[in-house]
Structure 1
């Protein structure tokens, strides 16, 4: 193989030309690292989808037509909503939000909501609800009763018992100054109805406009939080919930976690390297190599417009921990060579010749575990996959080039203690050899115990559930989590689901037939009783029309749909001419489309999936002959994301299993050995899933990565152990028991250190702000430790069974194949 011979040559060349090697890597790092200023963070639901995804396109089309769907809900609790003092405080809060919140599109509350009433001339007066309150004293109870029972305000702006009043704060759908000028024309103007605009696709939408960036939305949400906090300090009972606030919480968590997890992983690596090699140069060199690799990877993220998300926030710590593994193995073998009085060049070239191919293949298998996630439809998971794979392979290249160069530039010496101790912690090494020996001598017992574990784990695996509950990723006392549940207990209004019906013709919705269908659909939606999702109010233009008709005709609201199409047109015209402000949120300019908003209590995405489907089926049934139905909004994004999560796990795990198995088959040129080597790793992943089921940990956007990461990292130990065992058997003539013992004596201490680094690093995820990432880190750490134990005991047991059953012809074939790999595996 050319590769196996080429790796030592590269090491020798870089040792001979250290400055040129360093300049080459620095040039590459600077070119890629130039993208770092472009790196952003994005935790919105929209970031779940690839550009051009139909679900995302529907949502963006909705935003272009009706504005943002994800809003902030500020809830005011009061014992005296009728008093002038309450309305004064509410108005003051409302105006503060309007004046101080950046990127604001609109604030809607009882202060400015449309109020329709008949006048003495038999016409219609359109004003604002807040105008009903007197300057002093209290609101007329009859008026208050009219407000809290009206479908326009009940459980949308005020609770049915009147104790909670909402302010709905909506951000712009696109940056000010970048909006389509035609879109800024008066709603009722015929000019500029269509401009061919949209959102800039580089920002995730159509052409010509840009949606607000994550930083702008965080400014929006942060200003709302600040104002709410100020009024809370003054004694006003306020709560706040909604998508932008949750996104900001994720954004803050990413900032916190990236810094904390990187620092913790860095400290752990420094300690481990020093304990292992006991020299400063052996600490500094790997850290510099990894730092350059990480800077290049993050720069590529910037160039590729791939932001940090709740998924990729784990990438820095992951690259730190996994990237150091190659340095540990090469440095370990380098110092073994130096103890035999070989010069530095010979030592590093021999180290690369001995384990270069093994390290290359472990890097490839680790990358394959990450690349498995690229098959996912969910963009954060797919991005994490290719970025992690790129980072791992790039760090391997940087290690191969820079390690010999730095060894030449920073010469070191072998200390006396190194000459005296050829293995780390002899007593512990002896214990590891005893465990491996037990696996060789008692393979049936070992595999029987594994079988018992598999059977015992089965109920846990069956209990494992999928989840997309981002609110539950944070501790129970997180303010937004507390506030969201409190608001939903009173008014189910924190999560919106949108249904758009497009009749395809001007004034297509202004017919008795269509309005009747709207009323029927809303009534049906409000009475849906899914097991886990509470449905609140459904609202649309029909609520406005019923109010108008009721006021003008003097009939009860429930009878307020005229059966005369001309009358419907006249009533809408009166509403328009009265200066209505909310109609822009309900219909398009030519009355061909109607928007129905269903307000729901917050729930797990897995529970929203059946609800969303029920809503769509009902809408298709009622509107199928009247227009085209589109279901979109936050619930649609979350429900679709949940389905994608399930698909992503199945496809990515299968991809990882197949690709890694193929690489091992290529490495060893043995189908049997390649497949058998994967068995312990599959079992460990299976046991990890069982642990999730038994502990009640769901498979979510973060924990779905467990299998791919664990499989990609865990197989590294398997490769190194089996490589060593195979060589000792076929080239040194050792028995399996001796081969296992000698391999474990030399390699296991290094594997133990790398395992402890990985497990310790992942356990540092317990410092995260997100409880989901905390649980994920701890479980992954335990999985890595269990994999190491399985490699020590189960791999020798499988090798023992394999050794007994392998035909002589296969052994001769393997012998010949191994002769061709002598330089790659060892001497």
Structure 2
């Protein structure tokens, strides 16, 4: 064919797709300008995007564990804290310079933004009897002036106090902590970063002035770690993803112009999705920030299918514009369908009980739709302008695809048997997976919060807490001896549990006051037995406390309930949930009280199981919708149902492989089902569309149509799969465990799906597609420069 620039492709029907391609080519400059301007308008919304670094965003307002926790936070002082952990470089904590560091850190901590309460060894309110008076004062004052004997006595007292040991002081007195409680007004997204920045400045000051090292942990540091981890990933993973895409595209297309156009499509797809999120008022979280990498990965596929076919047409003698028409006709339907099914898969995330995954699904679905729009408008318009040329040589991979098709057909019984056995074996391993969410383990060792928290867990106290609010049944009922006995029994039972590090309860303070009021006689270190006397003790002690160190963290205002906080060793979330349930059961069986364990650790312990239940429905609906879309698009019910096998089997096999390799399912892993289903459908749709085109328009038999599908779309499927796997493996390098696990499992699923599409789907088509396709004379299509049924396919399958 002559290399004309505008003429229509001969031997093709002038249908709506060709007419649309003609419009794109005619109006290419206007279309490019309009696309850029419209994209910039949408992208401008990105300036409204903020980052929500509150760990509560992982739980919906309807989450019963969050509701219970919020209710308890309204009753008692909030438990949002930073644990400022101090370790002496030499000796133990009870040296003048170390205690001076603790005292200075305690004093300055009161001045931090949003600080509400500060607890440490130095300001611990120690009570003792002086004649007939109860004296309550800081345990340590002016440590630099203390004698060795005074320091020894303070150490003895501190190590005998249940409130201090294994919470503010290690058992061997070599590590201590200042616990800073914050009251965030939640009026600005900058509150947590501001508090953390101030604490880090204090850490630097203390370390430079005293012979100590400081580690930072706690709930506020956890919230900040979500933000910093996401920023770190966006700064490192996105450039790496662009590098992989550019290298792969250059190797595939061997055209700078085509690579440049693809990069623009990817960039616009990603940025318009972020802009739309900004206009919608969404706030980024660690899961939703992964949308940028995912969109970049998915947006490549549409461009590859369009460009590979376009360059195939150019190699067959078509002009650049004719090749654009040719590619539009062959790819518009499959690209539209795969974009739609991918969007449906990501939209199924809205069934999740974890709101950040709603945002991830919606942002990515929007990005996928935009990638489709850019790929069938902006990309062909740009290719109509850029002076790209096609290499005339056929790729080695294209020849491999022909050989692969022949091998699968020739050895189909053996291939099917081996593939089926491997798939069944992997699916059988699915039960090896267990639910487990560790909000500290979400971060890898490159995140400072993770290393500091591991240090605290190993050297001072546990990092997981369960909080119980025990109701006394009446105002001022906390002074009732019967209630105090039940509470103390509950506390002692928990202290006997092997998983428990520390239990904080006001009953210990009651026993100390009772001892004080009896001349500090150790025989009276027990709970008071008279309600009125207990109430007087409580009032006297409370009036002696300084401002900011009241009892609101242990009792409600009406003195009708008290809070017991259980600190646990490092353990899987499944065991933590079991410990919480054991405590609830003990209360029911041994007292008249009923209380449920709450806290961030409890919420995260249940998040995977709760999410899996909600996602089962979402995945089921996604399967129905995607299957219906494929069936309608293929106009063949049998093939629509048959397509479920290579699309669902990889999900089961991937989860089985996950059970063998990892065995732990967190909330991110439960999200993969619907998301991956939408992605893995793409390859089977492209394969089936080429198979049906060969049968309906070229009159090929089943084996010939399978060979045509391998030859025509095999390379594109291979390359898109490589890019998808590379993209999700890059996501698997995230410092945030949720995103890393999601990326790794999705990559495994795509690899399994590739084998299913190449090894199982062709054999199923040969075995089960018994329908005869009549070829009407009007439907016969003679493609340019072809001599055999698959010669054109082989050309299309080669690199540009």
TM-score where L is the length of structure 1: 0.84
The answer (yes or no) to whether the contact 2:229–2:736 under 8 Å persists in 1 is: yes
The answer (yes or no) to whether the contact 2:419–2:759 under 8 Å persists in 1 is: no
1:549 aligned to 514, 537, 552, which one?
514
The answer (yes or no) to whether the contact 1:273–1:283 under 8 Å persists in 2 is: yes
Aligned to 1:390: 366
Aligned to 1:204: none
| Larger mean Cα displacement after TM superposition, 21-30 or 268-277 | 21-30
Q: Deviations over 1:715-750 (max 9, x none)?
A: 211111111112212331212222222222222122
Q: CA deviation at 1:557?
A: 7.7
Aligned to 2:181: 170
| Larger mean Cα displacement after TM superposition, 604-613 or 318-327 | 604-613
Aligned to 2:330: 354
Aligned to 2:102: 90
The answer (yes or no) to whether the contact 1:435–1:793 under 8 Å persists in 2 is: no
Q: CA deviation at 1:784?
A: 2.6
The answer (yes or no) to whether the contact 1:372–1:385 under 8 Å persists in 2 is: yes
The answer (yes or no) to whether the contact 2:94–2:173 under 8 Å persists in 1 is: no
Matches within 5 A, 1:225-264: 225-228=200-203, 231-232=206-207, 235-264=211-240
CA distance in 1: counterparts of 2:716 and 2:87, whole angstroms: 61
Aligned to 1:498: 467
| Larger mean Cα displacement after TM superposition, 714-723 or 432-441 | 432-441
Please give the secondary structure, in 2, of the residue aligned with 1:500: strand
Q: Deviations over 1:342-394 (max 9, x none)?
A: 56555434422322111111111111221222211112223222222222112
Aligned to 2:798: none
Asked whether 1:36 is paired with 2:38, we answer no
Point out where structure 1 has 5 or more consecutive residues left out of the alignment: 176-209
Aligned to 2:397: 428
CA distance in 1: counterparts of 2:545 and 2:595, whole angstroms: 29
CA distance in 1: counterparts of 2:658 and 2:110, whole angstroms: 46
Q: Deviations over 1:296-340 (max 9, x none)?
A: 211232344433333223211111111121122222333334455
Q: Deviations over 1:225-256 (max 9, x none)?
A: 45435545653144333233333333222112
Distance 1:52 1:693, change over 3 A: closer
Asked whether 1:593 is paired with 2:568, we answer no
Matches within 5 A, 1:136-285: 136-138=146-148, 139=150, 141-175=152-186, 210=187, 213=189, 215-228=190-203, 231-232=206-207, 235-285=211-261
CA distance in 1: counterparts of 2:83 and 2:15, whole angstroms: 65
The answer (yes or no) to whether the contact 1:67–1:173 under 8 Å persists in 2 is: no
1:487 aligned to 456, 459, 465, which one?
456
Asked whether 1:438 is paired with 2:412, we answer no
Q: CA deviation at 1:786?
A: 3.8
Q: CA deviation at 1:108?
A: 1.0
1:512 aligned to 468, 471, 481, which one?
481
Distance 1:64 1:13, change over 3 A: farther
Aligned to 1:768: 734
1:468 aligned to 413, 428, 437, which one?
437
1:320 aligned to 296, 303, 306, which one?
296
Asked whether 1:797 is paired with 2:725, we answer no
CA distance in 1: counterparts of 2:591 and 2:358, whole angstroms: 37
The answer (yes or no) to whether the contact 2:468–2:598 under 8 Å persists in 1 is: yes
Aligned to 2:542: 576
Q: Deviations over 1:793-812 (max 9, x none)?
A: 22111111113xx3xxx546
| Larger mean Cα displacement after TM superposition, 340-349 or 273-282 | 340-349
- Cα RMSD of the aligned pairs, angstroms, is 3.3
Aligned to 1:527: 496
The answer (yes or no) to whether the contact 1:262–1:317 under 8 Å persists in 2 is: yes
Distance 1:310 1:820, change over 3 A: farther
The answer (yes or no) to whether the contact 2:502–2:567 under 8 Å persists in 1 is: yes
CA distance in 2: counterparts of 1:597 and 1:771, whole angstroms: 28
CA distance in 2: counterparts of 1:261 and 1:522, whole angstroms: 48
Q: Deviations over 1:563-605 (max 9, x none)?
A: 3222222122212321342312122222233222112223332
Q: CA deviation at 1:44?
A: 4.0
Matches within 5 A, 1:606-617: 606-617=574-585
| Larger mean Cα displacement after TM superposition, 466-475 or 320-329 | 466-475
Aligned to 1:186: none
Distance 1:243 1:799, change over 3 A: same
Matches within 5 A, 1:363-382: 363-382=339-358
The answer (yes or no) to whether the contact 1:547–1:557 under 8 Å persists in 2 is: no
Q: CA deviation at 1:260?
A: 1.8
Asked whether 1:743 is paired with 2:725, we answer no
Asked whether 1:75 is paired with 2:85, we answer yes
2:387 aligned to 412, 422, 431, which one?
412
Q: CA deviation at 1:8?
A: 5.3
1:604 aligned to 553, 572, 577, which one?
572
May I ask how many residue pairs the two structures share in their alignment?
Answer: 764
Q: Deviations over 1:121-144 (max 9, x none)?
A: x23222211239572313264553
2:136 aligned to 98, 116, 126, which one?
126
Q: Deviations over 1:5-50 (max 9, x none)?
A: 7665554444444455446545553454343223233454312112
Q: Deviations over 1:684-718 (max 9, x none)?
A: 33332232222235222334444444332222111
CA distance in 2: counterparts of 1:782 and 1:157, whole angstroms: 45
CA distance in 1: counterparts of 2:163 and 2:757, whole angstroms: 65
Asked whether 1:54 is paired with 2:64, we answer yes
Q: Deviations over 1:249-270 (max 9, x none)?
A: 3322211211222112212222
The answer (yes or no) to whether the contact 1:63–1:173 under 8 Å persists in 2 is: no
Please give the secondary structure, in 1, of the residue aligned with 2:620: helix
Aligned to 1:688: 654
The answer (yes or no) to whether the contact 2:349–2:675 under 8 Å persists in 1 is: no
Matches within 5 A, 1:556-705: 556=522, 560-580=526-546, 581-621=549-589, 624=592, 629-648=595-614, 650-696=616-662, 698-705=664-671
Q: CA deviation at 1:482?
A: 4.4
Q: Deviations over 1:509-546 (max 9, x none)?
A: 332232222212222222234xxxx2122223333322
The answer (yes or no) to whether the contact 1:297–1:390 under 8 Å persists in 2 is: yes
CA distance in 2: counterparts of 1:537 and 1:694, whole angstroms: 36
The answer (yes or no) to whether the contact 2:699–2:775 under 8 Å persists in 1 is: no
Q: CA deviation at 1:767?
A: 4.6
CA distance in 1: counterparts of 2:729 and 2:143, whole angstroms: 58
1:451 aligned to 411, 415, 420, which one?
420
CA distance in 1: counterparts of 2:739 and 2:129, whole angstroms: 57
The answer (yes or no) to whether the contact 1:609–1:642 under 8 Å persists in 2 is: no
The answer (yes or no) to whether the contact 1:72–1:240 under 8 Å persists in 2 is: yes
Please give the secondary structure, in 1, of the residue aligned with 2:527: coil
Aligned to 1:201: none
The answer (yes or no) to whether the contact 2:115–2:182 under 8 Å persists in 1 is: yes
Please give the secondary structure, in 2, of the residue aligned with 1:311: helix
Distance 1:455 1:499, change over 3 A: same
CA distance in 1: counterparts of 2:590 and 2:77, whole angstroms: 25
Point out where structure 2 has 5 or more consecutive residues left out of the alignment: 1-13, 784-791, 794-800
TM-score where L is the length of structure 2: 0.87
Aligned to 1:203: none
CA distance in 2: counterparts of 1:113 and 1:767, whole angstroms: 44
The answer (yes or no) to whether the contact 1:706–1:776 under 8 Å persists in 2 is: yes
Please give the secondary structure, in 2, of the residue aligned with 1:131: coil
CA distance in 2: counterparts of 1:558 and 1:468, whole angstroms: 44
Q: Deviations over 1:606-664 (max 9, x none)?
A: 22221222223334456655xx7353212222123232243355444434433322222
CA distance in 2: counterparts of 1:235 and 1:463, whole angstroms: 49
CA distance in 2: counterparts of 1:762 and 1:444, whole angstroms: 33
